[in-house]
Structure 1
Amino acid sequence: MFKNVRFYRLGSPFGLAADELETALTAARFRPCGPIETATIGWSPPLGDSSTALVHAVSGCFLMCARKQERLLPAAAITEALEERVADLENAEARDVGRAERRRLREQVMSEMLPRAFTRSRRTLLYVDTQAGWLVVDAASDRQAEDVISLLRETIETLPARPPAPRREPPRVLTAWLLNGDAPPDVVIGDACELRDANDTASLIRCRGQDLASDEILAHLRAGKQVLKLAVNWDDRLDFVLAEDLSLKRLRITDALLADLDDGDLEPAARLDAELAILALQLRELIARLDALFGLVADGEVAATAADAKTPAPAPAPQDLEATPQAPRAGGETPPWED
């Protein structure tokens, strides 16, 4: 159902019931582009055009679908038509066309070409997990996700959703999993990764179908490169590529979890309910696991934590220092939080 996942923490409990959310989304239902509109966005049925409901509720999750339609008007075509219009005007009146007049001609060309332009639609699935307090979006990029979140925020008037801000830097953690071989027991490293030099962002290596424990890969890591993306299998339940911003790409539920859905007796709606229930449950548990591994914190919490860190703690009284001397650490061991 979802090929990509970007998740956002809700700052407060989601206060709408399914029927209330349905009413709010109906006011912003999708409509096609008008003759001179470049793009429109709105809500469409998540179960497809055969349904009319804009919200599908399963296991405490509200599934929705945002649809965006754009008119395809290539910049090269606009430029070519504009240059022809400018050339005809300059030849006819024996003068140069100024910058302001060129802008007006460009707008005129676009208004003439827009009604004839083809349109393209893109649907984006998302759901609100009211039990765990997460908003999950099937988006391959930040821009696509932000378009959908902005639409939902405008539709229901408030949506305190923030991306996770991990305490532990994902590139450092992912690099340690490969370099030191200390990935958690429930995480199996796959055969794809993306490496980047920490000091040279233009130095990028993409590997696919490779043994990531090979000497070649380890040599890049020892030379200073960090893991930006890593293909993993989590607990024999989900396969995905984990990115540095903790988004998931190429998400796939393992066959073992879907075995019960392949008997062919389920109606399409019942199968969809079952798939959504399985997906929501697995992602709910996966996000909790990522929280344990990386320490997921909302942006506001990070800012508050940073402010607290800058506030100096009161110095202990001299007698306290004498009463509780600091014992030396054996062998000069580095505390784990300073790794």
Structure 2
Amino acid sequence: MFKNVRLYRLGRPFGLDADALEARLDERRFRPCGPLETTTMGWSAPLGDGSTALVHAVSGCFLICARKQERLLPSAAVAEALEERVNDLETAEARDVGRAERRRLREQIMAEMLPRAFTRSRRTLLYVDTEAGWLVVDAGSDRQAEDVISLLRETIETLPARPPAPRMEPPKVMTGWLLNGDAPSDFQIGDACELRDVSDTASLIRCRGQDLGSEEILAHLRVGKQVLKLALSWDERLDFVLAEDMSLKRLRVGDALLNEIDDGDLEPAARMDAELAILALQLRELIARLDAIFGLVGDGDAGGTPDPIPQTEPAPAVSVPSSAEPPPWVE
């Protein structure tokens, strides 16, 4: 279900039950891009197109899904069409096309090309663990996660959530695990890591399929390199790569846990329900374990007294307006 994990600590109890959250999300339900829109973003059913519910609740967690659609209009295509039109004008009218006229031509070209541009959608799953006080986002980058968090904050009007600020520096802790061989007994070191020289941030070494206890790796650590990312297996339940920002990449549930839901007779919705229940409970325990090691909840970062979310009318659904500038070309 989740391939990546980015954590956000809730500053206070969430304050909405599943029904109230459903009502808020429905005000920002996803709709496709209009002919002249470059991007729209909203909420879709986490269980897929066969469902209409925007919130799936299980084990104290609310699973939701953000969907973003973009029109793919490469800047190179706009630039080429612009140059052709400018050349035609200059040839036909024997004059130079000024900067202001170029801008108008560019806007005109984009208005002509946008309705015919292909669209691409991306779904991002996330869930709120109301019992443990964490927001868990399946995002491979900070930008993707922040887009979703911003949408959720706009939708429910307030969301005091921020990334963990560990008291123990993750690179130093993970470097010690390799250099001293003193990783906690419930964590097994994998075969991949990323090392960086503290005195030269441009010096980066990526290792995969390696024995991380070998003399070659240890030699890099002894001369000052630190571990930025480290492949780990936790208690034979979850495999992942832990990064210095406490995000998890290449997350995979252990075979023993997968066997618990390896039932071909399960309907897709029932299977997803079982997967979420297992994943959420395991991640809840893993996050608590990481908190015990790294101190994820820094001073002054605890939940404190409940401050419920104001029950005002939600903002109307809006989309990102089209711009005169073409959307960035993302591979």
More helix by share: 1
Residue 57 of structure 1: how far off its partner (Å): 0.4
In structure 1, C-alpha distance between the alignment counterparts of 2:299 and 2:123, rounded to whole Å: 28
Indicate the residue corresponding to 2:318 in structure 1: none
Q: Which residue identity lines up with residue 53 of structure 2 in the other structure?
A: A
Q: Which residue of 1 aligns with 2:118?
A: 118
Partner of residue 306, structure 1: none
| Partner residue, 2:131 | 131
Matches within 5 A, 1:229-248: 229-248=229-248
Deviation by residue 1:32-83 (Cα, 9 ceiling, x = unmatched): 0000100100000000000010000001100000000000111111111111
Q: Secondary structure at the match of 2:260?
A: helix
Separation in structure 2 between the aligned mates of residue 227 and residue 237 of structure 1, nearest angstrom: 23
Is residue 2:158 matched to residue 1:151? no
Residue 125 of structure 1, CA deviation: 0.3
What is the match of residue 203 of structure 1?
203
Query: Between Structure 1 and Structure 2, how many residues are aligned?
Result: 302
Give yes or no for the alignment of 1:7 onto 2:7. Answer: yes
Alignment of 1:1-339 (within 5 A): 1-297=1-297, 301=301
**Partner-residue secondary structure (3-state), 1:193:** strand
Change (3 A) 1:89 1:300: farther
Paired position in structure 1 for 2:307:
none
Query: 1:299 Cα deviation (Å)?
Result: 8.5
- The letter of the residue matching 1:270 is A
* Corresponding residue number in structure 2 for 1:331: none
Report the residue type matching 1:178 in the other structure: L
Percent of aligned positions with the same letter in both sequences? Answer: 83
1:273 Cα offset (Å): 1.4
The structure with the larger Rg is 1
The answer to whether the 8 A contact 1:236-1:254 is kept is yes
Q: Which moved more, 1:270-279 or 1:22-31?
A: 270-279
Deviation at 1:87?
1.4
1:52, 1:300 → 2: CA distance?
Answer: 39
Runs of 4+ in 1 over 4 A off after TM superposition: none
Q: CA deviation at 1:300?
A: 5.9
- Answer whether contact 1:170 1:294 (CA < 8 A) is retained: yes
Q: Tell me: CA distance 1:172–1:51, structure 2 relative to 1, closer, same or farther (3 Å).
A: same
CA–CA distance in 2 between the matches of 1:100 and 1:299?
Answer: 54
Deviation at 1:269, TM superposition (A): 2.1
Q: Cα deviations across residues 171-201 of structure 1 (Å, max 9, x unaligned)?
A: 1111111111111111100001111111212
Q: TM-score, length-normalised on structure 2? A: 0.89
How far, CA to CA, are the matches of 1:272 and 1:209 in structure 2? 31
Measure, in 2, the Cα distance between the counterparts of 1:99 and 1:234.
59
* Matched AA of 1:116: R
| 5+ residue gaps, structure 1 | 303-339
Runs of 5+ unmatched residues, structure 2 = 303-331
Query: TM-score scaled to structure 1, two decimals?
Result: 0.87
Q: Equivalent residue of 1:261, what SS? A: coil
Cα-to-partner distance string for 1:86-136 (whole Å, 9 max, x where unaligned): 211222222222222222221111111110100000000000000001000
SS at match of 1:278: helix
Q: Residue 273 of structure 2 aligns to which amino acid in structure 1?
A: D
User: For the structure 1 residues 39 and 104, does the alpha-carbon distance in structure 2 shift closer, same or farther, using more than 3 Å as the test?
Assistant: same
- How far does the alpha carbon of each residue in 1:187-220 deviate from its partner, in whole angstroms, 9 at most, with x for none? 1000011111112121111111111111111111
- Is the Cα–Cα contact under 8 Å of residues 11 and 301 in structure 2 kept in the other structure? no
Equivalent AA in structure 1 for residue 215 of structure 2: D
1:268-297, CA deviations, whole angstroms, 9 ceiling, x for partnerless residues?
222211111110001101111111111113
Q: What amino acid maps onto 1:199 in structure 2? A: S
Distance in 2 separating the partners of 1:97 and 1:171: 55
Q: Which amino acid aligns with 1:234?
A: W
1:14 to 1:6, Cα distance in 2 relative to 1, 3 A: same
RMSD (CA atoms)? 1.3
| 1:196 to 1:250, Cα distance in 2 relative to 1, 3 A | same
Q: Deviations over 1:274-331 (max 9, x none)?
A: 11111000110111111111111359649xxxxxxxxxxxxxxxxxxxxxxxxxxxxx
